[in-house]
Amino acid sequence: MNRLSNSLVAADVAAVLHPYTNARAHEQKGPLIIDRGEGVHVYDEAGKEYIEGLAGLWSVAVGFNEPRLVEAAVRQMQKLPFYHTFAHKSHEPSIRLAEKLVEMTPEGLDRVFFTSSGSEANDTVVKLVWFMNNALGRPQKKKFLARTKGYHGVTVASASLTGLPNNHRDFDLPAIPVRHLTCPHHYRFAHDGESESEFCARLIAETEQVILEEGPETIAAFIGEPLMAAGGVMPPPAGYWPGIEALCRKYDILLVADEVICGFGRLGSSFGAVHYGFTPDIMVLSKQISSSYMPLAAVVFTDEIYQAVADNTNKIGTFGHGFTASGHPVATAVALENLAIIEERHLVENARQMGDLLQVGLAPLADHPLVGEVRGAGLIAGLELVSDKATKKPFDPVGKIGALAAEAGQEEGLIFRAIGDTLALCPPLIVTEEHVHQIVQRMEATLNKTARALTS
């Protein structure tokens, strides 16, 4: 039977515009409809089982059917299904979650603002920093430093920070003052013969040069993911983050850690900033904060920032920013339970152990004829496919082979994300040793199937 004759598939094609999707291709192909989830697995409407190798969208920590999160949502729905946090109103779940985030995050991050998504949170960061600098009499200090291939969201401001061409093309972006620096990925961006330490030193020097070119008095903040994930899974070279932090301190530039993907144990450490040894002024959290059972994000920032903002709200009479769902009681109640499960079940430690196993298991696939590099940290991994291993030459056009591999992966019962021609993995924190072995086996089978398709 033609899949497009399926009534649900047909309804999807007729009514839904999908994010990050070629709409015309979707009209011909239709969606893979996921019907239910259990642990690290999801099942399509025909009952086929898949290992969800990307945890949905880098986001499900505790698995796809955790009853405690359902129960937490039901309890809160029955008690107070919605209330806002505007104009001196509050409720217990958002207060308790803010307390918990201040307790969990690195010392010095003492204040919390809630949104519903990482994009909204990074948009809030831009406005918060601008508001603060205006309050401090520094109206020229508005520029952001970001990185090529960085990902920070899709609102007008957050997509401007994002360093991916397709997030800018025909959206008239960037729309805010931002400079995108060299992506800290040695495999792709190092000069010929340049060691990792030399590459790192060049990137730090480049950052300082840009700061001096623009004028430190004009630069508000440096924003970055501790490990760049959605742009293609790119861990930074050793020493990169301490070097960036030193420059930020030297030139009075705020340091923003976008922990939307890295946060809450994904790298085998509590947060990416902890993993890479730096202390941000602002930390952006989402995804694993609630295992994405409910939309939620948070901006956690220093008291120094808060005091400047608070003084300005007193001058103006309000903080003219917020969302209907800022600190939504059901979302924050679910997040509290989710974080309790992560702690009780030692899932950060599990991510460290299983992450080590995953990285070791995937490493031999670097010898596969299609694979140029295997990289990652903790429970995030990427395999970059190339047409020539010796020269690192990418396939032309980039993305076609990645899409072919993603289809092959689904046939093998493994869902991952093809980012161009990088195959990205990020399984739930509850993954077991058996699951890791299955992921590696299915990825190898996927590569072999893709290679056969290329030669047929």
Each residue of 290-324: pLDDT tens digit?
A: 999 999 999 999 999 999 999 999 999 999 999 99
Interval 425-432 mean pLDDT = 98
- Higher pLDDT, residue 351 or 2: 351
- The pLDDT of residue 173 is above 90: yes
The domain segmentation of the chain, as residue ranges, is 32-62+346-455, 69-344
d(C-alpha 65, C-alpha 42), whole Å: 10
- Please name the residue ranges forming H helices in 255-395: 272-276, 303-316, 329-344, 347-362
Mean pLDDT of all residues in 184-189: 98
Q: Please report, as a single letter, which amino acid is at residue 310.
A: A
- In this prediction, residue 6 carries a pLDDT of 80
Q: CA dihedral defined by 410, 404, 154, 63, rounded to 10 degrees?
A: 20
Query: Cα dist. 160→153, 169, 182 in Å?
Result: 9, 11, 16
pLDDT digits (tens, 9 = 90+) for 366-380: 999 999 999 999 999
CATH match of 32-62+346-455 with 3.90.1150.10: yes
Strand partners, 80: none
Query: What pLDDT does 456 receive?
Result: 80
Question: What contacts 170, CB < 8 A, 6 or more positions away?
Answer: none
Average pLDDT over residues 272-292: 98
pLDDT tens, position by position, 114-160: 999 999 999 999 999 999 999 999 999 999 999 999 999 999 999 99
> In this structure, are residues 268 and 235 in contact, taking their beta carbons and an 8 Å threshold?
no
The tokens for 136 are: 């401090």
- CATH annotation of 69-344: 3.40.640.10
Distance of alpha carbon 118 from alpha carbon 264, whole angstroms? 14
- The continuous run of DSSP H or E covering 299 comes out as strand 297-302
Within 10 Å of residue 303's Cβ, how many Cβ atoms? 12
Q: 283 Cβ partners below 8 Å, 6+ apart?
A: 105, 106, 109, 256, 257, 259, 263, 271, 273, 299, 300, 301
Q: What is the pTM of this model?
A: 0.97
Report whether pLDDT(185) > 60. yes
Looking at every residue in the chain, the average pLDDT score rounds to: 97
Report helix, strand and coil shares of the chain as percent, to nearest 5.
Answer: 45, 15, 40
